[in-house]
């Protein structure tokens, strides 16, 4: 049975001043999503969508809005390429 995908936004700075803290938070979130996805009891699987804020907290609001309203379009579909989607066919934003 195919499971539906539920995108989950992951908004952390993984570069510049907040890099070490942000990478740890992303790693923990990805590990939790992996654990959920390994369960065969759920009818869905989580699809993490990662955005690196590069130490610019003012981007949180706009990226959260994009996650909700645009459902994390691939950066290939966005001119600004701000949102980094893990697994983008063109390789943008993979970590």
Dump pLDDT digits (tens) for 1-11. Answer: 688 888 888 99
Q: What is the DSSP letter of 20?
A: H
**C-alpha angle 50/51/57, rounded to 5°?**
140
Between the alpha carbon of residue 1 and those of residues 8, 31, 40, 44, 75, the distances in Å are 22, 24, 10, 10, 29
pLDDT at residue 84 greater than cutoff 90: no
Calculate Rg over the CA atoms of the chain. 14
Q: Which residue has the higher pLDDT, 17 or 93?
A: 17
What pLDDT band is residue 76 in, cutting at 50, 70 and 90?
very low
pLDDT at residue 93 greater than cutoff 60: no
**What is the structure's pLDDT at 72?**
59
């Amino acid at each position: 049975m195919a499971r539906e995908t539920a995108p989950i936004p992951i908004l952390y700075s993984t570069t510049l001043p907040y890099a070490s803290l942000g990478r740890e938070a992303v790693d923990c979130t990805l590990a939790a999503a992996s654990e959920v996805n390994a369960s065969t009891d759920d009818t869905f699987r989580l699809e993490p969508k990662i955005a690196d804020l590069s130490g610019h907290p003012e981007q949180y609001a706009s990226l959260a809005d994009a996650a909700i309203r645009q459902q994390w379009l691939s950066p290939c579909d966005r001119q600004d390429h701000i949102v980094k989607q893990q697994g983008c066919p063109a390789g943008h934003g993979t970590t």
